[in-house]
């Protein structure tokens, strides 16, 4: 086997290997450390010192630069002759501009413009150079130096920072462009903050504290330019970073950009009494934000829309409050809740749902607070017609809050947001919204109906009548609807309907008496106010009948409650008949020049007696037909009370012949009823038994039952074969 010798490595290879090992060895080289300190740190510090020295020298020699700029900017000067007035040297139609107390004049403006152009061109070339040589440090150093020079110029020429805004805008755009090219947005973020400080400083000094309204167009012009630039930066990743708090930094800068410019604009409009344009400004800001999002989505940019959508929806919700000042808070919360729920329906944003629910709760609290402290005292204790602003406030609130609550309940039902079952279960929020919607519908509907009735009648005394009529109409519609839905709010609704129905024999009856007497005794009072109570009576009769029907369906096990309500229904029916008879007789009796008191006393004797007798006979007849012992007992009780009334009241009032005739007539009726009552009872019972027997016989012939023998009783026939 032949052994092959390996070739020896060359000397140059050994030398390179030795150098490589020496460079990457674990030992630290002091010369390389000194070199890195000088190149990375010391040269930067020296560069900053030289730049600051140049800035200081510029400040010291600013007078010379100003003179040079004046010579470059000045054209042919109009020389004044000795003895000629200063205004004569000016062209015709022009007058010299008054110089401010600070000594700032047109020459200073030209000087600032020329110096700003020179500085802008220099730093534009510097930023473009940084892109060419790919150095991230240059934009950061240029940012510091640029704003130092801008601060020096502004301080030298009376803080006229708005003259420097074009150069600041161009510099900010170039910083953003260099950041995109160098993949470093640190300079862009700092530029945004410093630029915002400059803009706010000028705004506060010249507009808010100085009160110069002439700067308002310039504020909105430059403000919109900066706002669009920084909004564009945020959409295209100008606020993103690489540290662990970069997401929060991006969200904070985006929200700061939107909120800062919006707040400055609003304060400026309020300061100079231009609040009528506040809703236009809000609509413009919201439209710009949504337009930027739309353009970015079409361009395929992936970003979090929350920092743009949330402030935009808040601003958009302020449009209606700026138009309707009386309902500002409620309108803002109503629109905001709908917009946030609509946004969370498609985005699944949990924060939007929480903020929307909080807005709904605050809106309801504001509405109920207005009802307790404003609407109720105005509606029932004062003259609503004299307070038009309160009427319109309640009307707008009622027309807004119920549709908003219905829309919110629909949107919440279709949400797909991950919440815990205990805190945000579907059944709990549906029950909450249904109960709140019923209360809101009751309150808002009353104010709308009351507004229509009062404007139509021009009589503030109809407030109780309009409330009770709407109350009856509400429960006539709500109780069958809740029964069909098998809602748990059915029992509370029936309870409230029963409670509010007690207002008819007390509050509503006395209000009707006042309306009737005013219409009869005063010719200038319209009779329509009194006639309005007839639709209310019809609605009340329909309500108490519907309550009886649904009480029997709902409380099937509590027959005692149904019995008590049946007695209450009979008493209400009797009260309605007697009161309406009083109204009829008084209305017709006054034409014969009889006083209201005389007619009322006459009605309480014989007419009431015959009405009670007829009513008791009617109740007895209905009880016989329906085989209802409660109705029969109630009819007999009314009849007994009528007889007692005759013996203790009617007999004392009537004269001899009338007394004998009435007693004889009533005695014959009572005797006839006492003889006929058992026979009528047996007759109706016999008819009921016959109907039941016929039905049993019919079932017996139609369905014959076949009786089958048990298996044990069936015996086989004997085998007769051998």
- The pLDDT of 405-429, averaged and rounded, is 69
In angstroms, the CA 73 to CA 70 distance is 5
Q: Dihedral through CA 199, CA 205, CA 206, CA 211, nearest 10?
A: 130
pTM over 0.75: no
Q: Are 533 and 462 in contact (CB under 8 A)?
A: no
Label residue 381 by pLDDT band (50, 70, 90).
confident
CA–chain centroid gap for 309, Å, is: 17
Output the CA torsion sign for 447, 453, 459, 463.
Answer: negative
Over 90: is that where the pLDDT of 119 sits? no
Q: What confidence score (pLDDT) does residue 586 get? A: 84
Over 80: is that where the pLDDT of 583 sits? yes
Q: Regarding predicted confidence, which is higher, 96 or 108?
A: 108
- For the chain, the average pLDDT equals 77
In angstroms, the CA 444 to CA 404 distance is 12
Over 70: is that where the pLDDT of 128 sits? yes
Q: What confidence score (pLDDT) does residue 704 get? A: 46
DSSP 485-524: HT-TTHHHHHHHHHHHHTTIIIIIHHHHHHHHHHHHH-TT
Q: What confidence score (pLDDT) does residue 693 get? A: 57
Over 80: is that where the pLDDT of 436 sits? yes
Q: What confidence score (pLDDT) does residue 94 get? A: 36
Q: Regarding predicted confidence, which is higher, 214 or 573?
A: 573
- The pLDDT of 335-341, averaged and rounded, is 91
Over 50: is that where the pLDDT of 581 sits? yes
- The pLDDT of 481-505, averaged and rounded, is 90
Q: What confidence score (pLDDT) does residue 709 get? A: 44
- The pLDDT of 206-230, averaged and rounded, is 87
Q: Which of 278-282, 295-299, 506-510, 515-519 has the lowest mean pLDDT?
A: 295-299
Q: What confidence score (pLDDT) does residue 543 get? A: 94
Q: What confidence score (pLDDT) does residue 428 get? A: 64
Q: Check residue 717 and give left, alpha or beta (phi > 0: left; psi -120 to 50: alpha).
A: beta
Q: Regarding predicted confidence, which is higher, 637 or 184?
A: 637
Label residue 131 by pLDDT band (50, 70, 90).
confident
Label residue 416 by pLDDT band (50, 70, 90).
low
Q: Regarding predicted confidence, which is higher, 424 or 719?
A: 424
Over 70: is that where the pLDDT of 483 sits? yes
In angstroms, the CA 568 to CA 279 distance is 56
Most confident of the following: 404-413, 641-650, 702-711: 404-413
Q: Regarding predicted confidence, which is higher, 722 or 205?
A: 205
**What is the SS3 assignment for 140?**
helix
Label residue 42 by pLDDT band (50, 70, 90).
low
CA nearest 301: which of 366, 246, 235, 243? 235
Q: What confidence score (pLDDT) does residue 161 get? A: 73
- 445: Cβ contacts below 8 Å, ≥ 6 apart: 398, 402, 470, 474
Q: Regarding predicted confidence, which is higher, 399 or 349?
A: 399
Q: What confidence score (pLDDT) does residue 719 get? A: 38
Per the structure block, which two tokens stand in for 318?
A: 């302020």
DSSP single-letter state for residue 102: T
């Amino acid at each position: 086997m032949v052994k092959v010798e390996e070739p020896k490595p060359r000397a140059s290879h050994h030398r390179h290997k030795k150098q490589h090992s020496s460079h990457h060895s674990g030992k630290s080289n002091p010369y390389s450390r000194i070199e890195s300190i000088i190149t990375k740190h010391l040269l930067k510090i020296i560069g900053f010192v030289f730049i600051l020295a140049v800035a200081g020298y510029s400040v010291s020699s600013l007078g010379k630069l100003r003179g040079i700029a004046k010579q470059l900017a000045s054209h042919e000067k109009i020389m004044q002759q000795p003895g000629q007035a200063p205004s004569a040297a000016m062209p015709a139609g022009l007058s010299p501009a008054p110089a401010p107390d600070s000594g700032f004049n047109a020459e200073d403006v030209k000087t600032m413009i020329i110096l700003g152009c020179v500085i802008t061109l220099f730093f534009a070339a510097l930023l473009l150079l940084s892109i060419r040589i790919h150095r991230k440090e240059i934009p950061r150093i240029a940012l510091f130096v640029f704003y130092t020079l801008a601060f020096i110029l502004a301080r030298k020429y009376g803080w006229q920072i708005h003259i420097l805004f074009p150069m600041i805008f161009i510099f900010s755009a170039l910083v953003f462009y260099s950041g995109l090219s160098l993949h470093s947005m640190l300079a862009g973020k700092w530029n945004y903050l410093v630029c915002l400080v400059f803009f706010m400083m000028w705004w506060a000094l010249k507009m808010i504290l100085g009160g110069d309204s002439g700067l308002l167009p310039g504020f909105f012009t430059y403000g919109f330019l900066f706002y669009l630039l920084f909004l564009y930066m945020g959409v295209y990743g100008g606020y993103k970073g690489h540290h662990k708090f970069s997401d929060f930094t991006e969200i904070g800068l985006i929200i700061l950009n939107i909120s800062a410019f919006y707040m400055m604009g609003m304060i400026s409009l309020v300061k100079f009494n231009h609040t009528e344009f506040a809703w236009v400004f809000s609509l413009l800001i919201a439209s710009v934000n949504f337009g930027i999002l739309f353009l970015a989505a079409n361009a395929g940019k992936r970003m979090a829309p929350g920092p743009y959508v949330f402030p935009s929806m808040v601003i958009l919700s302020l449009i209606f409050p700026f138009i309707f000042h009386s309902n500002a808070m409620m309108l803002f919360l109503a629109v905001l809740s709908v917009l946030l729920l609509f946004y969370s329906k498609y985005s699944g944003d949990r924060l939007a749902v929480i903020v929307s629910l909080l807005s709904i709760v605050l809106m309801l609290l504001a509405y109920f607070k207005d009802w307790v402290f404003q609407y109720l005292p105005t509606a029932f204790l004062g003259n609503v017609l004299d307070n038009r602003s309160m009427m319109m406030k309640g009307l707008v609130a009622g027309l807004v809050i119920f549709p908003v609550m219905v829309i919110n309940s629909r949107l919440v039902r279709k949400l797909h947001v991950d919440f815990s079952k205990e805190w945000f279960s579907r059944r709990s929020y549906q029950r909450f919204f249904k109960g709140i919607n019923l209360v809101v519908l009751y309150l808002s509907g009353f104010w709308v109906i009351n507004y229509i009735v009062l404007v139509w009648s021009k009589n503030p005394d109809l407030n109780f009548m309009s409330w009770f009529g709407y109350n009856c109409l509400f429960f006539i519609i709500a109780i069958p609807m809740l029964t069909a839905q098998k809602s748990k709010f059915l029992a509370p609704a029936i309870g409230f309907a029963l409670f509010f129905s007690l207002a008819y024999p007390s509050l509503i009856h006395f209000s009707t008496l006042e309306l009737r007497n005013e219409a009869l005794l005063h010719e200038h009072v319209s009779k329509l106010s009194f006639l309005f109570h007839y639709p209310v009576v019809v609605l009340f009769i329909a309500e108490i009948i519907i309550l009886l029907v649904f009480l029997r369906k709902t409380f099937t096990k509590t027959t005692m409650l149904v019995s008590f309500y049946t007695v209450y229904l009979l008493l209400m029916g009797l009260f309605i008949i007697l009161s309406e008879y009083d109204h009829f007789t008084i209305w017709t009796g006054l034409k014969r020049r009889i006083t209201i008191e005389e007619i009322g006393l006459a009605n309480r004797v014989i007419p009431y007696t015959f009405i009670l007798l007829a009513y008791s006979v009617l109740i007895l007849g209905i009880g016989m037909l329906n085989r209802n012992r409660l109705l029969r007992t109630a009819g007999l009780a009314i009849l007994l009370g009528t007889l007692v009334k005759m013996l203790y009241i009617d007999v004392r009032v009537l004269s001899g012949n009338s007394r004998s005739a009435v007693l004889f007539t009533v005695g014959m009726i009572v005797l006839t009823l006492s003889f006929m009552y058992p026979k009528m009872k047996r007759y109706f019972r016999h008819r009921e038994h016959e109907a039941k027997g016929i039905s049993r016989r019919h079932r017996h012939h139609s369905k014959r039952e076949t009786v089958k023998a048990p298996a044990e009783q069936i015996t086989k026939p004997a085998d007769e074969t051998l």
